[in-house]
Amino acid sequence: GAEAVRAAMGGSASVLPRDALSEYQELTFLNKQEILLAYKRFSELLPKEERENACSVRVPKSQILTLPELRANPFQHRICRVFSTSNAGDDSMSFEDFLDMLSVFSDSATSDIKSHYAFRIFDFDDDGTLDRKDLEKLVNCLTGQGEESRLNNAEMEQLIRNILEESDIDKDGTINLSEFQHVISRCPDFARYSSICG
């Protein structure tokens, strides 16, 4: 029966239900192949005995961080925080969280969607604006944590002043989402520089 087939396929090879597949195609920027591949990748992050229920279990953050897309990403912890729907605040991901993340990272996602998520990822204190503290953390993430590459206080101050001058249209000392999207649309270099979504 089914058990024998599954055993022959090398353990619990779980399959995504067909109705779920078409729903995910409508809700994401991913095509059928990309969704099936995502499902396979997500399943492989789970212990063997949980793979059959890949649609209903959560993968811990420590496993998500092993993905090649995130391994070297300076914003890996923020990415897990923004895409995780965990109530426990442990940044674990469900398959749907994982799909959302891959969808935003995909080439098919619109620049509006990408910039919206980039903004949320850079908003380290989750207060809906990028203030000086957020910008400082952002710059530190981008320049690396090594002593030799870190900016000194004067350089940091100058850079943040420049960023705010460019971006803070209403001069309230912070950058809101529409200001952020405006800067990105005007400066393709900045968009590339701050592109966490490939």
The predicted structure's pLDDT at residue 145: 66
Q: How far apart are CA 48 and CA 12, in angstroms?
A: 7
Where are the strands (E) in the chain, listed by range?
none
Selected residue with higher pLDDT from 9 and 180: 180
Range from 8-12, 98-102, 118-122 carrying the lowest mean pLDDT: 8-12
Q: Which secondary structure element, helix H or strand E, spans residue 41, and what is its range?
A: helix 32-44
Collect all residues with Cβ–Cβ distance below 8 Å to 33 and sequence separation of at least 6.
Answer: none
The pTM assigned to this predicted structure is 0.85
Residue 91 backbone zone (phi > 0: left; psi -120 to 50: alpha; other: beta): left
Instruction: Write down all domains in the chain, each with its CATH number in brackets.
Output: 18-105 (1.10.238.10), 111-197 (1.10.238.10)
- The conformation of residue 152, written as its DSSP 8-state character, comes to P
The predicted structure's pLDDT at residue 5: 46
